Structure 1
Amino acid sequence: MRRLGDLARVASLLAIFAMLLAACGSTGGTGGTTSGSSSNTSSSTQNAKKVALVTDIGGVNDNGFNHLSYTGYSKAKAQYGFTEKVIQTQSQNDYVTNLTLAAQSSDLVIAVGFLMNNAIDQVAKQFPNKKFAIVDGCATAAGASNCETLPNVAPLSFKEQEAGCLVGAIAGQMEVDGKDKISKLLGKNTVGVVGGLSIPPVDRYIAGFKYCIKKVDPSVNVLVNYSQDFTNPAKCKDAALSQINQHQADIIFQVAGGCGVGALDAADQKGVFGIGVDADQGYLHASVLTSAMKRVDTAVYDTIKDFEDGKFTNNPPKFDLAHDGVGYAPISKDVPADAKQKAEDFANQIKSGALVPPENIQ
């Protein structure tokens, strides 16, 4: 009997000790490894905000706006710790499917590209409790031409015409300087522009470029051709070669994403100059004078930050020169000081409101 009593006392002490351990574990302290913290960890995981990125067909290695989008996304991921979910689109027919997959597993979906306007309109309406943002576009119903204002869709737009203006100012001043000062110029006072598709972001770049190059040199001949493609470099190379061989264009501005790399290749092979787009493309060839830059990485990062901070808005401001949303890349050694100064003068005028480059090609 005494032995049973001793065992009972031991069992009672063990029970009390276990209760004390459980009580300590349930305090939710900073230890992080106690069993009592598991419910808090589960709750935290369930409440974590998930963010997905759906690229356009160029993919994250396009060295353009898809890559920049991924850069901004990666910066936000490192800061907020969400699990990466990046869907790279292979065909325009996959837009709806990819956005739907992203929305099913994420709280915020970022679509990259104007061509997803209809798809994001459709998917955002199917998932009204999820948030969406679209680079270069807006929610547009099928068959419509105007943007819809949906409470859960943020259109991320840029004043590309301002970036186009600045590189146009550089090109214009170089044409004014002429062959006597810049020996690589062909001397025909002609420049070429190779666009991808005639969509608003592309046309805004071209509008600003053409407007400002003619403000510097009203007599310059500006050739504009569209490749009808954003991914095939051969098409843009053919367009640029035609401008160079047939019209002696000595500066080629590419506004065609991955396709436009072919235009810069053509310019380099023919011994003339190129101007890149979206990101700094000076690494491609020494003949690239500069690039019209669109800071998509900033837009994507800021959008995710606002979402994480509970400040998501379906009416974000346009990303412009005054707010470091657009600009131009570092210039090459072939750009004379007066051309660099012309770009700076135009930049100051844009920021002050004295110069307003147009959105539409004139």
Structure 2
Amino acid sequence: MRRLDVFARVALLLAGCAFIFTACGGGNTSSSNNTNTGASKVSVALVTDKGGLNDQSFNHLAFQGYTKAMNEFGFTKQVIESKNESDYIKNLTTAAQGADLVFAVGFLMQQAVYEVATQFPDKKFAIIDGCAVPAGKSECATLPNVAPLYFSEQEAGCLVGAIAAQMELDGKSKIPELRGKNTIGVVAGESIPPVNRYIAGYKYCAKQVNEKINVLVTYTQDFQATAKCKDAALSMINQHQADIIFQDAGGCGVGALDAAEQEGVFSIGVDADQSQVNKSVITSAVKRVDTSVYATVKDFVNGKFSNNPPLFDLAHDGVGYAPVSDKVPADAKAKADELAKKIKDGSLKVPSEIPA
């Protein structure tokens, strides 16, 4: 009888503990589930441009920001990769049918965004490097459901241009790999505003540091075919003795980095830190597309979506330059930092148009 009495008391005690635990712990679980349920109601889609997710550049960065937001806010992955420009309207339409917020990655999607956003006025859209532009027009249309996400690429271009120019100024005595012709180059994709803003800053600040420097620019009219960019870079290196090649062509530009490595010269990456892509890379002009995507999703989740978001510039950590390799002399990095300080305090205005 005593043993049964003991067991009964233990059972009652355990039951009481279980009730208390359920009551207290259940409240926390309910709160957590409510949060997750709210997040799961958010639906976000990402549509790449024709460069695709593996461009090691801005599509890749957009996906990184999207993934961070997806992990934090708990929405279901909806990513559509475009293969051609003709895919844009179709892919954005598909995305809008299944999501409340749709990201269009790239300037080339401006007209497609306008067409689809006007068809889905209750859905929100954000476009990297562009705005909503009606067919046959060149100016942006202000739509309440479209957020244009812009960057000051010219400021990032300025900083890496300063590094390149200072290295040329230092010369072969300090950097034996240089060819001694005071020449650097840019292998670009298509002549579109974000590409040209990078070039504008690169050339302007290179000339500020080294007024006699020769800056070559070649447009390949491509963001994908690495062979085109490699050929353009090889021409700059072998025919014009360029020492440093800045790739400004997305996935195509990886070919320019390969050419630099092959010929034993230096290269500069674009958008993301591309030092892991190729060992010739001494730094990269960084555009924090990932930050813009994540911030836009966060605002949307919190009911703060805006069709007039702030500019992602150097002062707001929207652009910059990646850590430099050990091939970059201290004075070159110091020159970039000096110009960065001037940009932030407003004493240096970097043009967005390519100087003559």
Q: Does 1:250 align with 2:243?
A: yes
Partner amino acid for 1:135? I
Q: Percent same amino acid among aligned pairs?
A: 66
1:29-74 CA distance string (max 9 Å, x none): 74979xxxxxx98xx5798121000011121121110110000001
Partner amino acid for 1:55? T
Q: Report deviation, 1:284.
A: 2.3
Partner amino acid for 2:120? F
1:229-259 CA distance string (max 9 Å, x none): 0001000001001111111011100000000
Q: Does 1:49 align with 2:34?
A: no
Q: 1:158 aligns with which of 151, 162, 172?
A: 151
Runs of 4+ in 1 over 6 A off after TM superposition: none
Give the secondary-structure state (helix, strand or coil) at the position aligned to 1:68. helix
- The match for 2:13 is none
Partner amino acid for 1:172? A
Q: Does 1:225 align with 2:218?
A: yes
- The match for 2:324 is 331
Any stretches of 5+ residues in structure 1 without a counterpart?
A: 1-28, 34-39
Give the secondary-structure state (helix, strand or coil) at the position aligned to 1:139. coil
Give the secondary-structure state (helix, strand or coil) at the position aligned to 2:195. helix
1:46/1:289 CA distance change after superposition, 3 Å: closer
1:64-93 CA distance string (max 9 Å, x none): 101100000011111110111001111110
Partner amino acid for 1:68? L
- The match for 1:3 is none
How far, CA to CA, are the matches of 2:40 and 2:188 in structure 1? 44
Any stretches of 5+ residues in structure 2 without a counterpart?
A: 1-25
How far, CA to CA, are the matches of 2:278 and 2:174 in structure 1? 21
Greater Cα shift, 191-200 or 54-63: 54-63
How far, CA to CA, are the matches of 1:324 and 1:263 in structure 2? 27
How far, CA to CA, are the matches of 1:72 and 1:161 in structure 2? 22
1:248/1:122 CA distance change after superposition, 3 Å: same
Does the 8 Å CA contact 1:286/1:332 hold for their aligned counterparts? no
1:192/1:31 CA distance change after superposition, 3 Å: closer
Does the 8 Å CA contact 2:245/2:268 hold for their aligned counterparts? yes
Partner amino acid for 1:147? C
- The match for 1:214 is 207
TM-score (norm 2): 0.89
1:88-109 CA distance string (max 9 Å, x none): 1111100000000000011000
Does the 8 Å CA contact 1:166/1:346 hold for their aligned counterparts? yes
Which structure has the greater CA radius of gyration?
1
1:261-299 CA distance string (max 9 Å, x none): 000100110011000000001112322110000000000
How far, CA to CA, are the matches of 2:158 and 2:270 in structure 1? 12
How far, CA to CA, are the matches of 1:216 and 1:47 in structure 2? 51
Give the secondary-structure state (helix, strand or coil) at the position aligned to 1:305. helix
Q: In the comparison of the two structures, how many residue pairs are matched?
A: 327
